[in-house]
Amino acid sequence: MVRMLGSASQYPIYGPEIQCPHCRQTIPALLLTDSYLCTRHGAFEANPDSEELVHVQSGRHWRRWENQWYRQHTHPDGIRFEIHEELDRLYTQGFRARAW
């Protein structure tokens, strides 16, 4: 969504840059839009009304709390998916999930 010139800030609600919720690299805002662009994951749109960040390709939602992104679940399977993603992330950080 492109905003009109003269709105309060030239940046989206989360400021000139954020961390990509997927890969956690710092990604820039696109000037005069509500969008951020990750070179690996594409566009994210910040919604100034709900204060959510939406990944345009997948429709996933996040909210930021204390500098961390928290996934917003719109579907019950989302929880399972998130646990899986978190285990993946821990694994890549060098931890090993215990085999159950």
Residues in contact with Zn ion by CB under 5 A are: 20, 22-23, 38, 40-41
Minimum CB separation of residue 4 from Zn ion in Å reads: 28
- Residue matched to tokens 């890969």: 23
Phi/psi of residue 59, nearest 5 degrees: 75, 10
Quote the tokens at residue 4.
């009109």
Least Å from the CB of residue 40 to Zn ion: 4
Smallest separation, CB 73 to Zn ion (Å)? 20
**Cβ closer to Zn ion: 32 or 43?**
43
